[in-house]
Amino acid sequence: MAVPFIERPLCEPVELRPGTSLRIERVRQDAHAAATEPFPHFHDVHELVLFGQVQGDFFTEGWRYPLSPGCIAFVPSMRQHDFALAPGSRDWVLVQVDAVASETLLRSPGLERLARGFCALPERRLRQRIATLANWLTELDGTDPAAVPLVELLLRAAAQAPQLEGERVAGDPDTLNRLRPAIERLRRNPADAPSAEAAAALCALAPAYFSRRFKQQIGLSWSEYVRTHRLHLASQRLLASDEPIVDIAYGLGFSTPSHFGEVFHQRFGLTPREYRLSARRRAGDAMPPADRTG
């Protein structure tokens, strides 16, 4: 069934497993798979798609790229994109990387190309190397210590692949450009998020127009987006560090630890303390003595 037309791109928040900054999934569809219709969307993660058998088109940032067997597609976080896949057998490996956790990595030498979306077709030897790395990754859990360095190697290999020529398509190449200054400001300093009025000024927009445009594009109000972003960071810090919960709350800009605990429970169904303890029990770890609230 065709996806109904929508006037705005769809933001699809990606829920990474607790304690991980990665999602790796192999997808296989048989000869009965139907064609897919373009569906503009964007994610809060960086996305690398390693195609095996495929035909169709990949759209990103105002360009259309033809897909062929063995090609790869990369989209940075919060960049609009969509796929139109031809019917029939197709397969790919999907790699999604948390944008905040990988911020330093993607600025390292040799990975500058990953600042923008692209489609590439690796030559034979590089394709074999990419396939080997992808096979190793799909056999690992996202919490495996080997997963992150393997993803870095995979991203470096993808950045070396010869880029395919694209074709300009009509329309706004990136409907999020006007809003990106506010989003990037929040990411740089989530504890000191700008108000809606200040966010509008960063984007050189009137406050009322900014609020309307943001809600239309993202599906959340600016304040809802700020809260969701902070909670996402909090969930990672709870699992990746022994930092006291009270310090996490204040460090991310929540007014009080009790307020943090309340909104965290609404979002995840657990208090921050329970969330950390549950994950560490599964991992066989003891809860750190630093917890003082939650």
Supply the DSSP symbol for 195: P
Which residues, at least 6 apart from 63, have a Cβ–Cβ distance to it below 8 Å? 117, 166, 167, 168, 169, 173
* Local structure of 3: helix, strand or coil: coil
User: Which residue type, as a one-letter code, is found at position 111?
Assistant: L
Tokens standing for residue 144: 């495996």
**∠ Cα 166 168 173 (to 5°):** 115
Its pTM surpasses 0.75:
no
- Cβ proximity of 142 and 16 under 8 Å: yes
Q: Is residue 80 within 8 Å of residue 121, measured between CB atoms? A: no
Q: Which of 131, 72, 76 is nearest to 98 (CA)?
A: 76
- The superfamily (CATH) of domain 180-283 is Homeodomain-like (1.10.10.60)
CB 291 within 8 A of CB 248: no
- Residue 247's identity, in one-letter code, is D
From CA 42, how far away is CA 106, in angstroms rounded?
Answer: 18
Rounded Cα distance between 268 and 1, Å, is 33
A 10 A CB-CB count for 3 gives 12
Angstrom distance (rounded) from CA 145 to CA 127? 24
254, 204, 206, 265: which is closest to 229 by C-alpha? 254
CATH number of 10-168: 2.60.120.280, 1.10.1660.10, 3.40.640.10, 3.65.10.10? Answer: 2.60.120.280
What contacts 111, CB < 8 A, 6 or more positions away? 105, 155, 156, 159
- Rounded to an integer, what distance in angstroms lies between the CA atom of residue 277 and that of residue 238? 9
Residue 56, number of CB atoms within 10 A of its CB: 19
pLDDT in tens, the chain (294 residues): 333 333 445 555 566 776 678 889 999 999 988 898 766 677 888 999 999 999 999 998 888 999 999 999 999 988 888 899 999 999 999 999 988 778 888 888 889 899 999 999 999 999 999 999 999 999 987 778 888 899 999 999 999 999 999 998 765 555 567 888 998 898 889 999 999 999 999 999 999 999 998 887 777 899 988 998 888 788 878 877 889 999 999 999 999 999 999 999 998 888 999 988 887 776 664 444 444 445
Query: How do the domains of the chain map onto residue ranges?
Result: 10-168, 180-283
Locate 109 and state its tokens.
Answer: 């030498």
Q: Quick one: tokens of 5?
A: 């037309």
- Is 180-283 the same fold as 10-168? no
Calculate the CA 247 to chain-centre distance: 26
- Quick one: pLDDT at residue 219? 72
For 65-93, what is each residue's pLDDT tens digit? 999 999 999 999 888 888 999 999 999 99
CA distance 201 to 204: 5
Q: What is the pLDDT of residue 38?
A: 66
Q: Is 52 helix (H, G, I), strand (E, B) or coil?
A: coil
Alpha carbons 192 and 266: distance in angstroms, whole number: 22
**DSSP-derived pairing of the beta strands 10-12 and 41-43:** parallel
